[in-house]
Each structure stands twice: as structure tokens, then as C-alpha cells.
């Protein structure tokens, strides 16, 4: 399985050297943390593993009275590894993930009002995500490449599509005698 965390770490380091904390901050600021679960521990484990593999080099820096910080940079092997990871992810044969529909498959175990409440809560979440993506796109326009903006558009479209689908299910629940 291709490591999405390693890909994000290598991709960001391809732009320039960074501290581990900076990597996580950049992932958050660019909205990458929506794509996969990433913790601080996962970033530092990926950094250690990638350095052991020869993909990264690191050194410590000290600024004034601040504690030493480890700085990471990509090696030529790391650039090749990044290319391999990106190719593997872009050519992925992995199916879409449908975690939420697992619950939906058994929604009949809920009372009609509970089922509608649950789905409406999901739709509120999706609407907030779509609005946030629209704002991110507006802020990032001109700062990131068009491919990144296309990713945001794709995500927003997926949220809107799921909202339409869930609205039909909520309407169907309302029309039927029960969930």
C-alpha cells in the first residue's frame, strides 16, 4: 500500500527544507489533512523512516534561545521515491471508500426521526465542508497551481453530490411509514 503520509512529506520537502512541525502545519493549511488521517506522530515516524531509507537528510539548527530543531531536506533518492509514490497513487486501482454508507445500509434499525436526524446531521457537516472548500479555493487562488484548485473543486462536487443523494433518502424516509 502506498503511504499517503510519506507522499505528502516528500512532496512538501520537494518544495524546500522544513521542520517536522512545518510539514504538519503546511498539510493543515493546504487542506491535505482531509485526504488522509495524519497525526504529529505519523509525520515524525514517516520522517524517520524516509531518512533511514535515504530519501531525506537532516540536521539540527538552533535559533537564539529556542531549542534545537531538526530540519529535513529531500535527497535525489527521495525525489525518485516521490515520483514512484505519486505515480502509484495517480494510477491507483483502489476503490472509493464508502464508510458512511455502511451505517446507511442498516438505517432501518433506527426510528424514522432518528434516521432523519442522523442524515440531516451528515448533510449539515457536508454543507460546512463545501463552504469551507469554497473559501479555501478563494484564498488559495493564485497561490497554488490549477491542479490543486481542481482537487478542491472535485472535493466540493463530491460533497454536493452526497448531499443531493442524502436529501433523496431523507425524503424517501419521510414518505415511507418508517426507516
DSSP H helices, the chain, are 4-15, 20-29, 40-52, 76-90, 99-104, 112-140, 146-175
Rounded Cα distance between 90 and 110, Å, is 39
Report the pLDDT value the prediction gives residue 97, as an integer from 0 to 100: 65
Report the pLDDT value the prediction gives residue 179, as an integer from 0 to 100: 44
Rounded to a whole number of angstroms, the CA Rg of the chain reads 21
DSSP string, 156-172: HHHHHHHHHHHHHHHHH
The arrangement of secondary structure in 4-90, i.e. its CATH architecture, is Orthogonal Bundle (1.10)
Report the pLDDT value the prediction gives residue 70, as an integer from 0 to 100: 95
Report the pLDDT value the prediction gives residue 178, as an integer from 0 to 100: 45
Q: What sign has the CA pseudo-torsion 68, 74, 76, 77?
A: positive
Closest CA to 18 of 80, 74, 95, 86: 74
Report the pLDDT value the prediction gives residue 60, as an integer from 0 to 100: 95
Rounded Cα distance between 90 and 104, Å, is 29
Q: What is the mean pLDDT of each run of 10 residues along the chain (179 residues)?
A: 86 94 91 85 96 97 90 96 87 69 77 88 89 84 82 88 91 71
pTM above 0.75, yes or no: no
The domain ranges of the chain are 4-90, 99-175
Amino acid at each position: 500500500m502506498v503511504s499517503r503520509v510519506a507522499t505528502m512529506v516528500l512532496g512538501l520537502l520537494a518544495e524546500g527544507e522544513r521542520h517536522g512541525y512545518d510539514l504538519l502545519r503546511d498539510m493543515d493549511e493546504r487542506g491535505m489533512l482531509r485526504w488522509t488521517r495524519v497525526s504529529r506522530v505519523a509525520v515524525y515516524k514517516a520522517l524517520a523512516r524516509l531518512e533511514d531509507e535515504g530519501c531525506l537528510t537532516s540536521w539540527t539548527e538552533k535559533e537564539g534561545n529556542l531549542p534545537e530543531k531538526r530540519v529535513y531536506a529531500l535527497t535525489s533518492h527521495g525525489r525518485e521515491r516521490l515520483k514512484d509514490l505519486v505515480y502509484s497513487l495517480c494510477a491507483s486501482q483502489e476503490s472509493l471508500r464508502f464508510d458512511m454508507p455502511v451505517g446507511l445500509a442498516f438505517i432501518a434499525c433506527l426510528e424514522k426521526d432518528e434516521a432523519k436526524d442522523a442524515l440531516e446531521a451528515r448533510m449539515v457537516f457536508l454543507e460546512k465542508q463545501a463552504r469551507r472548500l469554497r473559501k479555501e479555493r478563494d484564498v488559495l487562488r493564485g497561490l497554488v497551481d490549477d491542479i490543486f484548485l481542481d482537487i478542491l473543486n472535485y472535493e466540493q462536487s463530491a460533497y454536493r453530490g452526497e448531499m443531493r443523494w442524502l436529501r433523496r433518502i431523507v425524503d424517501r424516509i419521510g414518505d415511507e411509514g418508517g426507516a
